[in-house]
């Protein structure tokens, strides 16, 4: 199977390209089925490669297999080739990326029904999957960066999918600009690493650098990751990105692309683990993001915004795990989160679909009766994310918190408190949506139309929900703490080798920690029930400071946006017309004037032409005379 690795990328790429080629002829729903089939085939190929990888131990200690497609860039010491590397880490990513992508493609066929640009949506989606897989499978930083940029641009297209809406257009730009800022970090990291290691190939990196250089490299990587994975200080593009269609939010802005930053840090574990300072900063950023985003999520009224901040917070946990050195815990949470967050987003999409596009939770409530499938599946997503045993989130978050406890009890306390917040805001979101009175049946205070009978979604949308709910229930089986030699930890640990730090706690301690996690989940659930049962608005619990994202956007607007606008206006109104136009117009006038004068010499008379020759000759001869003197 190893020579077929490229097919994992080729299928979605081919799907996207052929849809572009036939975009005039292919219509709904064929385009959707073609795209789904392309990603499905990619998933099957991934499965085949995965099974081959399990069966063989030919790839050396880290079980890595590389397919060399062709020489790409060979300049001086830089050898960046089209090499696709399959190892336990990348194949894990590939499995859940292609698997969840297939489900979300399927869901989109139903969700995007009747959209004008149906085909275009699936073109973007397929190209996104191809880019994401390039990012994951790239054997060197440059190839990863290519995919990194590819997912960035697809994300931009998809966020601004409804570009006729101003808010969607500017959300797309915001997402793109934040990601471009973070790209500087990626580029700097590549520069630093190439200058010190003379390679960008992951398997050849050694981290033999001075500690200062290492810290710089790790901070640059963290900055890059903070952009893609929406961490402090670059997290606030993600909520705006919810302007895109809901399947996009589920696929790109919850399950896959936003985890790329975490994946990058895991990929670069050799460098990351060599810098203790860097690891502490990573822990700090991760925990701060998890906490800040959780507080914000408690006060959101838009269901998708609430889920978006929840995503930011959960990725904060993953980054925190990376900082502790337990990369397996980070990957575990990433996979589990992909299941339950994709489920929650698709569930919210189902709700929005049923309510004709309504996203305000103030206009929901009581949907349990109307949308039994959505309710039933969303229920498990909710229980999984808040960490109620035995669902996937309990095990995944538990392993992160165990690792954090090993690093520092103080960090652990912060993480546990954030888990309480998580249980609280997710429960609030759940109650507001599915329980209480059906507020959408009456006309809203702002003139929103009433919806008499919300309808359950078609099977193409229900099937992915059911499958994801199943994964959210049983996802914990991937990595049970007391089972060794099977599961993610056994599978992934060869990749990380000595970089991996696994907490070696006694059984009692493990039970105590797990008990604390479960307790916190139930506590948060209960508090939310007490505070929000039968209520749809409690302004005292949703202060403006939290609802407005800690005024983070205003802060950036004041310190960057306004000065930059002022500078731009200055250049446009002063520098451009006076200095630049002045120089250009002045040059043009000078050339014109000189030409008009010189032209008079060309009067058509032979005698004056002869004079010109004689004049030139005399000048030359006189100059020689002066020289010889």
Question: What is the size of the binding site for other proteins (CB under 8 A)?
Answer: 27
Backbone dihedral angles phi then psi of residue 202, each to the nearest 5 degrees: -60, -40
Which C-beta is closer to other proteins: that of 165 or that of 602?
A: 602
Shortest separation between residue 582's beta carbon and other proteins, angstroms: 17
Compute the least distance from the CB of residue 614 to other proteins, in Å.
9
608 binds other proteins (CB under 8 A): yes
Give the range of 55-63, 193-201, 373-381, 592-600 binding other proteins by CB under 8 A.
592-600
Please report how close the Cβ of residue 612 comes to other proteins at its closest, in angstroms.
Answer: 5
Site string for other proteins, 325-344 (x = CB under 8 A): --------------------
Q: Measuring CA to CA, how many Å separate 628 from each of 617, 623, 625?
A: 17, 9, 5
Q: Which is nearer to other proteins, 453 or 599 (CB)?
A: 599
E strand or H helix at 69? strand 65-75
Q: Which residues contact 327 (CB under 8 A, 6 or more apart)?
A: 266, 269, 321, 492, 496, 499, 500
Residue appearing with tokens 């599961």: 487
CA 517, CA 133: separation in Å to the nearest integer? Answer: 34
Q: From the CB of 24, what's the least distance to other proteins, in Å?
A: 24
Measured from the CB atom, the residue of 445 and 604 that comes closer to other proteins is 604
Find the binder of other proteins among 452, 504, 530, 598 (CB under 8 A): 598
Q: Which two tokens stand for residue 85?
A: 């590397």
Beta strands in 20-154 (DSSP E): 65-75, 78-86
498 binds other proteins (CB under 8 A): no
Determine how β-strand 65-75 pairs with β-strand 78-86.
antiparallel
Q: Pattern of binders to other proteins over 432-471, x per CB under 8 A?
A: ----------------------------------------
- Whole-angstrom Cα Rg for the chain: 29
* 195 forms part of the interface with other proteins (CB under 8 A): no
Query: For residue 376, what are its two tokens?
Result: 């039933």
**Contact present, 521 and 386 (Cβ < 8 Å):** yes
How buried is residue 210: exposed, middle or buried, by Cβ count under 10 Å (0-12/13-18/19+)?
exposed
594 near other proteins, rule: CB under 8 A: yes
Report the nearest approach of other proteins to the CB of residue 608 (Å): 7
Stretch that binds other proteins, among 49-57, 216-224, 409-417, 610-618 (CB under 8 A): 610-618
Only segment of 386-394, 531-539, 547-555, 584-592 that touches other proteins (CB under 8 A): 584-592
**592 binds other proteins per the rule CB under 8 A:** yes
Task: Report residue 149 as tokens.
Answer: 């940029």
Residue 73 beta carbon to other proteins: minimum distance, rounded to whole angstroms: 19
Distance between CA 88 and CA 37 in Å, rounded? 25
626 contacts other proteins (rule: CB under 8 A): no
What does residue 109 show for φ and ψ, rounded to 5 degrees?
Answer: -60, -40
For residue 387, how many other CB atoms are within 10 A of its CB?
Answer: 28
CB of 353 closer than 8 Å to CB of 111? yes
Residue 201's SS3 state is strand
- Candidates 75, 530, 544, 595: give the one binding other proteins (CB under 8 A): 595
Q: What are phi and psi of 274, to 5 degrees?
A: -80, -5
* 544: contact with other proteins by CB under 8 A: no
Among 452, 504, 507, 628, binds other proteins (CB under 8 A): 628
The reply to whether 575 sits near other proteins by the rule CB under 8 A is no
Does residue 410 touch other proteins according to CB under 8 A? no
* Contact status, residue 509 vs residue 106, Cβ threshold 8 Å: no
When binding is defined by CB under 8 A, the residue of 3, 453, 484, 599 that contacts other proteins is 599
Give the range of 66-74, 347-355, 526-534, 609-617 binding other proteins by CB under 8 A.
609-617
530 or 627: CB nearest other proteins: 627
User: Which residue from 51, 450, 578, 621 is in contact with other proteins, where contact means CB under 8 A?
Assistant: 621
For 76-113, strand residue ranges (E) read 78-86
Nearer to other proteins, 507 or 613 (CB): 613
Name which of 579 and 620 has its Cβ closer to other proteins.
620
Select 277 or 623, whichever has its Cβ closest to other proteins.
623
Residue 551: count of CB within 10 angstroms of its CB: 12
Q: Which span sits near other proteins by CB under 8 A: 9-17, 76-84, 308-316, 615-623?
A: 615-623
Distance CA(314)–CA(316), nearest Å, equals: 5
Among residues 543 and 612, whose Cβ is nearest to other proteins?
A: 612
**Span interacting with other proteins, options 69-77, 248-256, 488-496, 599-607, rule CB under 8 A:** 599-607
Per CB under 8 A, does 75 bind other proteins?
Answer: no
| Furthest C-alpha separation in the chain | 113
Three-class SS of 567-624: HHHHHHHHHHHHHHHHHHHHHHHHHHHHHHHHHCCCCCCHHHHHHHHHHHHHHHHHHH
Distance CA 161, CA 243 (A): 8
Paired with 302 in beta bridges are: 360
Stretch of 301-309, 457-465, 487-495, 605-613 lying at the interface with other proteins (CB under 8 A): 605-613
Best CA proximity match to 298, nearest among 429, 435, 431, 393:
429
Between the two ends of the chain, the Cα-to-Cα distance in Å is 87
Binding of residue 613 to other proteins (CB under 8 A): yes
Spatial distance between the Cα atoms of 51 and 113, rounded to a whole number of angstroms: 36
- Under the binding rule (CB under 8 A), the answer on residue 591 touching other proteins is yes
Q: How far is the CB of 76 from other proteins (least distance, A)?
A: 19
Give yes or no for residue 612 binding other proteins (CB under 8 A).
Answer: yes
Distance of closest approach, residue 75 Cβ to other proteins, in angstroms: 17
* Residues of the shown chain interacting with other proteins in the complex, contacts defined by CB under 8 A: 588, 591-592, 594-596, 598-599, 601-602, 604, 606, 608-610, 612-613, 615-617, 620-621, 623-625, 627-628
């Amino acid at each position: 199977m190893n020579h077929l690795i490229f097919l994992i990328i080729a299928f979605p790429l081919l799907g996207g390209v052929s849809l572009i080629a036939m975009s005039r002829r292919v219509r709904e729903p064929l385009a959707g089925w073609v795209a789904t089939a392309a990603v499905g085939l990619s998933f099957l190929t991934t499965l085949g490669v995965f099974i081959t990888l399990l069966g063989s131990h030919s790839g050396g200690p880290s079980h890595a297999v590389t397919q060399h497609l062709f020489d790409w860039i060979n300049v001086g010491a830089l050898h960046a080739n089209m090499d696709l590397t399959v190892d336990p880490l990348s194949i894990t990513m590939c499995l859940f990326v292609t698997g969840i992508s297939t489900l979300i493609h399927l869901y989109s066929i139903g969700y995007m029904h009747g959209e004008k640009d149906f085909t275009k949506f699936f073109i973007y989606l397929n190209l996104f999957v191809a880019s994401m897989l390039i990012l994951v499978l790239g054997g060197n930083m440059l190839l990863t960066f290519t995919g990194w940029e590819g997912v960035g641009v697809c994300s931009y297209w998809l966020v601004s999918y409804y570009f006729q809406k101003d808010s969607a257009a500017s959300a797309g730009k915001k997402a793109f600009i934040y990601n471009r800022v973070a790209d500087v970090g990626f580029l700097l990291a590549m520069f630093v690493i190439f200058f010190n290691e003379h390679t960008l190939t992951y398997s050849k990196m050694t981290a033999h650098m001075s500690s200062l250089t290492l810290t710089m490299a790790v901070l640059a990587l963290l900055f890059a990751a903070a952009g893609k994975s929406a961490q402090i200080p670059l997290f606030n593009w993600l909520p705006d990105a919810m302007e895109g269609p809901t399947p996009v939010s589920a696929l790109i802005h919850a399950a896959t692309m936003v985890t790329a930053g975490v994946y990058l840090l895991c990929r670069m574990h050799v460098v990351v683990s060599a810098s203790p300072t860097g690891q502490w900063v990573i822990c700090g950023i991760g925990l701060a993001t998890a906490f800040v985003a959780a507080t914000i999520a408690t006060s959101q009224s838009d269901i998708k915004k609430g889920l978006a901040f929840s995503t930011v917070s959960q990725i904060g946990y993953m980054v925190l795990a990376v900082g502790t050195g337990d990369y397996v815990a980070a990957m575990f949470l990433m996979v589990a989160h992909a299941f339950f967050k994709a489920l929650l987003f698709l569930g919210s999409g189902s709700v929005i679909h049923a309510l004709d596009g309504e996203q305000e939770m103030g206009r929901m409530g009581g949907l349990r009766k109307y949308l039994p499938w959505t309710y039933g599946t969303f229920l498990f997503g909710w229980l999984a994310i808040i960490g109620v045993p035995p669902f996937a989130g309990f095990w995944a978050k538990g392993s992160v918190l165990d690792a954090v406890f090993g690093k520092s009890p103080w960090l652990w306390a912060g993480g546990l408190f954030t888990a309480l917040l998580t249980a609280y805001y997710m429960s609030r979101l759940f109650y507001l949506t599915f329980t209480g009175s059906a507020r959408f049946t009456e006309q809203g205070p702002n003139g929103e139309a009433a919806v008499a009978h919300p309808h359950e979604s078609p099977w193409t949308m229900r099937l992915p929900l059911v499958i994801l709910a199943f994964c959210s229930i049983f996802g914990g089986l991937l990595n049970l703490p007391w089972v060794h030699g099977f599961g993610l930890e056994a599978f992934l640990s060869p990749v990380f080798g000595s970089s991996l730090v696994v907490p070696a706690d006694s059984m009692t301690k493990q039970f105590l920690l797990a008990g604390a996690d479960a307790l916190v989940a139930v506590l948060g659930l209960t508090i939310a029930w007490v505070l929000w049962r039968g209520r749809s608005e409690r302004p005292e619990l949703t202060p403006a400071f939290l609802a407005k994202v800690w005024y983070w956007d205003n802060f950036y607007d004041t310190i960057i946006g306004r000065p930059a606008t002022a500078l731009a206006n200055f250049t446009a109104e002063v520098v451009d017309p006076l200095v630049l136009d002045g120089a250009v117009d002045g040059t043009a006038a000078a050339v014109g004037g000189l030409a008009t004068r010189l032209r008079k010499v060309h009067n058509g008379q032979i005698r004056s032409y002869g004079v010109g020759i004689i004049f030139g000759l005399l000048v030359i001869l006189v100059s020689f005379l002066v020289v010889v003197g």
